[in-house]
Amino acid sequence: MLSQKVSFRKAVPVWEKDNETVMNHSIVLRRVIGKDSDAVLRIAAHSRYQIFVNGEFFAAGPARAAHGFFRVSEYNLKAKLTDSENVVAVIVAGYNVNSFYLTDQPPFVCMEIEKDGEILNATGSDAEFEALTYKARMRNVMRYSFQRPFTESYVFDAYYDAFMTRPEEKYENIELVKTDEKVFISRNVPYCRYNEIKAKKIVAKGIMIPTKNKKVYDDRSLTEIGDELKGYKKNEIEADTVNDLYAHVMQILEPETIDTEPVLLGSNCCAVYDMGINTTGYIRLSLTAEHDTQIYAVFNEKLPEEGYPDAGRDGCANVVKWALQGGRTYDIVSFEPYTYRYIQIISAYAPTLISNVSQYRECYDEALLVNKKQMPDADLQKIYDAAVETFVQNSTDIFMDCPSRERAGWLCDSFFTSRVEKELTGKSIVENNYLENFILPEKFAHLPEGMLPMCYPADHNDGCYIPNWAMWYVLELHEYLERSGDRELVDAAKEKVYKLYNFFRGYENADGLLEKLDSWVFVEWSEANSFVQDINYPSNMLYSMFLDAISDLYGDNELHEKAEKLRETIRTHSFDGEFFCDNAVYNDSGEAVRTDNRSETCQYYAFFTGTASKDAYPELYEKLVNEFGSVRDEKDNYPEIHRSNAFIGNYLRLQILFEDGLYEKVVDDIRKFFLPMAECTGTLWENMTDSASCNHGFASHVICWLNKIF
């Protein structure tokens, strides 16, 4: 189904006057409510918001939507209204930059509180909320990553939270002005529960020492700021937190395990905490600062060999900084969600008593997972539980690639994660929102006519797109119809699907093969991606499947015939008698010549897309089943055939084996591929190594195989 339009009863969208275009600007609004009020907070905002009741974290949002559309959430506050006067406060940040995570649109907040049918407060009305600029959060800071907006650095005086906790406090309100009208639509997806989990143990304590041999953090998110990547340039930044820490080394003094009872950190001292699992949410710290100090929270998904988290791992500024006025106890929460198993707390300048290190988890509501199963042994259970963790952390409002570096809604990744949602919940609610977001806008800025974004909601100011990933949108749409029966959404997508097909037709050569595709032609993270020009056969194999999907979705028999002809052409051009070759290149005479580049992944594309079958290619199929996959690690078979990586080669392999009923092979590969991941982080990874994200949504697809095998 398509989302319904939603109206506020009184509220209209507003923002602080003269700050509509400022990057990384935040405001805070509040209302004081009586005890036991059955009050509902209705809100839509951009870029992000957090809700607090009496200074305690309550919820965050929004659920993301396409450009020009904003989803409305409703929160019942009754359970939290326990005092005679309760302060309901909402912090809203307007980032005004492009990212893979949030759209680059002007900031606003539209909010009203309703009690017993009466609107108590509404933005843009006579009953306006009290509002202040949230000056505690520094604006001129570095981006978190190339894919995400800003890091967090704060300056808290002793009264930083008074507006959010003390009903009697009075302030001079800022002027809020009405913004352009917005199109509000239903939220649809479930609300997160935000359970708090505490750090399980301290694994090390140490001291921070200045060094002359400092590392330099020069990630593109810091050095390439401009029109294509918005943010504050290096000479404009007031808090370069990663390089501040890189000017020091940590000397680990106590590497043994210590309990997490209140810890007194001396000046420039640190403690490294283990959350027990790689988890996503909002950092919460409770501490007492006797004197002015600075607190750093540095976090990683796994612990480096040095024994403490790396502030710049994986091209991310994995650090939040608070400058605190001494003389009081602080209970502080990060504004953005982060992913980590290990978190290092550093107290610079003065001793600080750390009494609580915890996290408010932001995950899909696990109470809705109605089809979890028990595995037959402990190792498989570890893998299964890690897959569940990976799903819930990557499926809050859309399907994300990872909840850390990007939080982006990547196509192809979503094809696999969407299967998991249906398997675990029996529904396709998140998938509905995810697919709809691509349908809603009339066009996508910076992209060629007909092309879909590689991830969305996002802005790709550099014009980059992945043509292959756009095909996966149609493949997922095809399966979505089978899962949901939702003809309305599929029909709404028809125009975009055919525009996409027309885009690809412009790249067909005389043989009907796609050639010289532009932008980022992507097969997978392996050597296979070195062979994408001039004619890439895995891309064409996928194209045949894409054509068949359109044919099935819209009754276009001509495209089915075209797909069959294309597969026959690929067989003739790509197969060398033993393996399918990855590509052909044009020689000086203008002739397309097949190369001898051969990858394991290319073979899996062939069988997954129906270009090959075990009946037509029995010898190749037997080799793949028995001599490739996880056994290659033991026997080093066929070294001239480039290995697959996790995504998507190994997943295509497992799907092929599964569909053929080779369950023992599937389970054996699953054990060898994924048990080391599950034991290390409790989540499943982007690659076969820990070189990138250790929590990638597609990896939860393991559940779909295990649920049906056991």
Question: Mean pLDDT across the stretch 375-396?
Answer: 98
At 286, list the tokens.
Answer: 């409770």
| Reported pTM | 0.97
> What is the pLDDT, as a whole number, of residue 672?
97
Q: What average pLDDT score do residues 288-316 get?
A: 96
SS3 label, residue 308: coil
Contact criterion met (CB below 8 Å) for 139 and 147: no
Q: Which residues of 453-464 are buried (b: 16+ CB within 10 A; e: fewer)?
A: bbbbbbbbbeee
Per the model's pLDDT, the better-predicted residue between 144 and 82 turns out to be 144
* The pLDDT of residue 557: 96
Here the tokens at position 171 are 């302030």
Confidence label for 214 from pLDDT (cuts 50, 70 and 90)? confident
- Over residues 462-496, the pLDDT tens digits come to 999 999 999 999 999 999 999 999 999 999 999 99
The partner residues of 57 in beta bridges, in order of sequence, read 52
Residues 548-599: pLDDT tens digits? 999 999 999 999 999 999 999 999 999 999 999 999 999 999 999 999 999 9
- Answer yes or no: is pLDDT of 310 > 80: yes
Q: What pLDDT score was predicted for residue 363?
A: 98
Contact present, 412 and 469 (Cβ < 8 Å) = yes
Instruction: Kindly tell me if the per-residue pLDDT of 257 is higher than 80.
Output: no
pLDDT reported for residue 261? 82
Q: What is the pLDDT of residue 256?
A: 73
What are 676-695's pLDDT values in tens digits?
999 999 999 999 999 999 99
Q: pLDDT value at position 634?
A: 67
Residue 635 has pLDDT above 90, yes or no: no
Which residues have CB under 8 Å from 554's CB, separation 6+?
Answer: 494, 497
The residue-averaged pLDDT of 148-165 equals: 96
Indicate the residue type of 449.
E
Are 422 and 163 a contacting pair, CB within 8 Å? no
Cα–Cα distance, 457 to 459 (Å, whole number)? 7
Q: In 3-state terms, what secondary structure has residue 357?
A: strand
Q: Which two structure tokens, joined as six digits, stand for 430?
A: 């998140």
**pLDDT tens digit sequence for 25-37:** 999 999 999 987 7
Please report, rounded to a whole number, the percentage of residues in the chain having pLDDT higher than 70: 100
Average pLDDT over residues 156-182: 95
**Could you give the 3-state DSSP secondary structure of residue 217?**
coil
Is 698 strand, coil or helix?
helix
